[in-house]
Structure 1
Amino acid sequence: MSKSTASIRDCFFCGKHVPTGHGTMLVKNDGSIQWTCSNKCKKNLRKLRRDPRRFKWTEKYVKGGVRVKK
């Protein structure tokens, strides 16, 4: 098996690529796995509970704004 084989992971919050050996993995009780690339993404996701679609620095940003259901 070659060393060039790397698992492809994307940050759950910002959507950027997380290289092998980096990032933080969160395993939830239902078995889903959430990877975060940095401490900034981890805090925004878990502690502050923010929506990544509202921040321009994420790849999940929506230009027109997020519609909130009432």
Structure 2
Amino acid sequence: MPTVVVVRLPSKPFDEEVIHAVEKGLNLLDFEPNYETVLIKPNLCSEKIAMITDRRIIYALARYFKNRNCN
């Protein structure tokens, strides 16, 4: 099982492309949550570009786990 997955996206991806890429990456890892509750910890240290987690990544992760009955 790979421990790192890289999914290529266009330089300015649309929201649905990001969601699809996150789901594809987690599926390539055969990742399934083992717990009912999942904590998503985004980077929120600065407003500078590339220093915070893109909101679309957080949304995609939340959607992925919600679809698997996690809180």
Computing the radius of gyration over CA atoms, which structure comes out larger, 1 or 2?
Answer: 1
TM-score (normalised: structure 1): 0.24
Q: Which has the higher contact order (CA 8 A, sep 6+)?
A: 2
In terms of fraction of residues, the more strand-rich structure is 1
In terms of fraction of residues, the more helix-rich structure is 2
TM-score (normalised: structure 2): 0.24
